[in-house]
Structure 1
Amino acid sequence: MKTQFLSNILLMLIWVFLTGSYTFENFSFGFILSFLILWIISRKTDQNKYYKILPRIIGFFFFFLWEMIKANIQVAIEVITPTHNMKPGIVSVPLDAKTDVEITFLANLITLTPGTLSLDVSTDRKVLYVHSMYVHNKQEFIDDIKNGFEKRLLAILR
């Protein structure tokens, strides 16, 4: 996977040097173009993990960015308005993540989102305890984490 990424970067740099334009757009276009070329060349080989994981990482980045924006707006509205719509609570979220890396990434992503905080992991590492400012429905909150952050994170890490 490292060799495909380095090949992608090398081809991107060759594109940028040949065009002579050192803009962000040209770097991005060169990266996407070299990714597509490498994907077409190695479609029939066993080296497909890179070509599956990179779009997932990009998709996860935009998903996390969207969740961050939504949470920031929700918390900002709570601060600005005189009424309190908060219903804080601690929720135990069952984990599909097994390794320390998976659990750590998930806990940190939850904590980075405003309004939520990862508190603890059970001793058997099957439950993550999360404090949230808005727990109107516990099952809905759990489903949001499991089908959002955890599902996408495990698709990248496994």
Structure 2
Amino acid sequence: MLVLNFVFALIWMALKEEFSFIDFIVGFGLGFAIIALSQKVLQDQIIRTSQLRSEDSYTSYPERTMKTFSLMVFMFWSIIKANIEVARLIISPRLNIQPGILAIPLDVQSEIGITLLSNLITLTPGTVSLDISHDRKTLYVHFMDIADPDAARREIKENFERRVMDLFP
């Protein structure tokens, strides 16, 4: 739906024949309103085509948009914190790190959810998603410094995976 909203914004700009940031914002706002008002009509088609959620767990477009922006803000903040931590580790006179690979059990089931989760982990400095088990139940992640494996696993599950599952179960 977010892509459709961007398309509406671009169509608005083309109809106005002005390609300014303000016209994009106005078009995006109008697209948002159109999608929010017509979501009940589109709901059945969205559920059938995406097959990511059942009818009982369908969330509205404004709610999904807020969750998407929340995930983006969380990732931006996580990347900043991880960059500072990695810089601190590298600059310290003693390189006192404990690298390791951690198996993280997954609750997320969709292909797009697993892909998004592993990419978000890899984007965060100091961690790299290595592999996923054949049954898609375990993600293997390399940590630059893993002093407390349980805390690292909890961080991934409670912060990253929970936010991804809000969008893609």
Matched, 1:114 2:125: yes
Structure 2 residue aligned with 1:31, among 8, 15, 28? 28
Q: Which residue of 2 aligns with 1:134?
A: 145
TM-score, normalization by structure 2: 0.72
TM-score, normalization by structure 1: 0.76
Matched, 1:69 2:80: yes
- Distance of 1:7 and 1:124 partners within structure 2: 35
Contact 1:12–1:34 (8 Å) recurs in 2: no
> Letter of the aligned partner of 1:151 in structure 2?
R
Q: Which residue of 1 aligns with 2:107?
A: 96
- CA offset digits 1:62-94 (Å, max 9, x no partner): 111111111111111222221224221211111
1:152 CA drift (Å) = 0.9
- Percent of aligned positions that are identical: 39
Structure 1: any 5+ residue segments left out of the alignment?
A: none
1:144 CA drift (Å) = 0.7
> Letter of the aligned partner of 1:110 in structure 2?
I
Structure 2 residue aligned with 1:10, among 4, 8, 11? 8
1:45 CA drift (Å) = 6.0
Contact 2:9–2:26 (8 Å) recurs in 1: no
> Letter of the aligned partner of 1:54 in structure 2?
T
Paired residues in the alignment total 154
C-alpha spacing 1:144/1:14, structure 2 compared with 1 (3 Å):
same
Instruction: Trace 1:39-78 onto structure 2 (pairs within 5 A).
Output: 39=36, 41-42=37-38, 47=43, 49-78=60-89
Matched, 1:22 2:33: no
